[in-house]
Structures are given as C-alpha cells and as structure tokens.
Amino acid sequence: MDQKHTLTGNIRPHPGFASRILRNERDVLVYLPTGYRRSPRLRYPVLYLHDGQNVFDAATSFGGVEWGADESAQRLTRQQLMEPIMIVAVANTGDDRIHEYAPTMGVIDANAKRKKRSRGWLRKYGRFLIEELKPFIDREYRTKPEVEFTGLGGSSLGGLATLVLGLWFPQTFSRLAVMSPSIWWDDCAIYRILDEVEGKPQLKIWLDTGTHEPGWERAQVLRDRLVEKGWRLYDDLQYAEIAGADHSEAAWGGRFEAVLRFLYPPLPPAVKEPLRPPLVLTAKL
C-alpha cells in the first residue's frame, strides 16, 4: 500500500533541479510561510535542509517517517513563537549521498573486507548550494538573501555536513541546525577542521544528540571544542542531549520545533513612533 502524501501549507516543487557542478539533479521543495501570497512586499529568511525527502512528506521519507518541518513551521508561526521563514528541502541523490555530505575521503565501512572510501565531495556540494541553488531561490522567491538570514540544517552525516559548510562558508550561512552529527567520520575529522578555522565565524549553532545513539558522548566533546573556540553556550551555541532519543527521523522530527525556535525566534515588536502633538497651521489674516 502506497504511503499518503503529507505536505502541509504552500509548498512549491522544483523536480529534477540540475547541477553543473555535481553533474546530477535532485528534487527541491520550497515551503512558503503563511501570508506569503497576501503580503507581496515582505521578504523572508531561508533555511536550507539536507535529505529533503525526509523533511515534509511521509510518502518520500526514509521508513515513511517525516520530520514534519512544514507543520512545525506553520504551528510556531501561528503562535508567534518563531519568525516566518521559507524552508528549502534539498533531496539527497541516493548512492552519491555519502560522497556529497562527506568533508573528507574517509572510509565508508571500516568492517568491509575491501575498504571503500568516500570521494569527499562536500566542498563541491557546498558550491552547488551557494552558486546554483541559492541564486535560483533568491531569484524566484522573496527571500532575505543576506548571510544573517540564511540557515542550513541536517541530521547524521547531513548534520556533520552542515557544521563543516558553516565553518567553510560563513559568508553565506550563519544559522546552523546540527542534529546528531556523524562526529565519528574519518577519525573525527570535524575536530581537525574546527582547529584549522581561524578565529570564530559568526555562526549561531544548534547542536544536539540522543542518549541512545552510538557514541553520543562525542557531542559533548564537540560542544566543548566549540566553546574553547569562542562560542557561548546557550547564547550563540545551543546544546541539547535528548534522553532516550535514538538516531532516527522520528527523533529528529520530535525536536525540530525547538530547533526552529532557537534559530529563528520571533521578531521583537516593532518600535512605534512616539505620539507627537498635531501640527496646527494658523492662517494669516
């Protein structure tokens, strides 16, 4: 029996979006916030999410379990618990996923008889996002294209890719959702990558892990290394350990509302002009 589609709200499809950089194509879905059509002058921040099949739709998601990012954004915006944003779900390409999300040419399966290595295409994948997809989204939709309004997010290897791309391209991405990142990749290459970064990029980072994930304690080490680099815990770095949570789409979807509320809090009330006495004109006699 086919899984029913579970898309909510105003979601625009862009099937088969082609990349010259990666020489492949993938589906892209764009969630537009409530009121997008009614307010033609407003522009919105954008959050790009990897593994886009799992973001909005149970019919395309792994194991038939979606994150519910569309429902979460709708609900939080309606309750004024977050700023209205656009969400761009960028599908992975199946067999090439591990190559596109891997920052280094690490071993894919350490237990295999023949050690197969990743091609380490993450920098190329980052160029695809920055040079091909983002310009298209900024042309087609009313975005706030500046770095301070542009976010990136993912889970597992997509979480690792998110953090690395933020460190490599802080001139493009400033808000990062790093969920259950694959810190173990290539003997914890992320530690070396972080050490190589000069200074502290202006990144607002959500970092989390579930306590039923293998090796979840590495997230504590990554947290501490980020703090040593200059991030301020519970200010521009939010760290969360979710008791009993495993490494699954259901677990990530269950805490995605908290991610949205941290990265895109509601806008402060508009500052009103002070009341001034009416201007009185006296006619000359």
Side-by-side strand order, sheet with 10-19: 10-19, 24-32, 86-90, 46-49, 150-155, 175-179, 204-210, 237-242
- Cα(182)–Cα(171) distance, rounded to whole angstroms? 24
Structural domains of the chain ordered from first start = 10-263 (3.40.50.1820)
Cβ–Cβ < 8 Å for 106, 193? no
Cβ–Cβ < 8 Å for 248, 65? yes
pLDDT bracket for residue 269 (50, 70, 90): confident
Looking at every residue in the chain, the average pLDDT score rounds to: 92
Residue 110: the pLDDT is 66
Global pTM reads 0.92
pLDDT digits (tens, 9 = 90+) for 9-54: 999 999 999 999 999 999 999 999 999 999 889 999 999 999 999 9
Which is nearest to 205 in space by CA: 167, 172, 257? 167
pLDDT digits (tens, 9 = 90+) for 123-180: 999 999 999 999 999 999 999 999 999 999 999 999 999 999 999 999 999 999 999 9
- Cα(257)–Cα(262) distance, rounded to whole angstroms? 9
pLDDT digits (tens, 9 = 90+) for 73-104: 999 999 999 999 999 999 999 999 999 999 99
- Cα(116)–Cα(108) distance, rounded to whole angstroms? 6
Q: Would you call 18 exposed, middle or buried from its count of C-beta atoms within 10 A (0-12, 13-18, 19+)? A: exposed
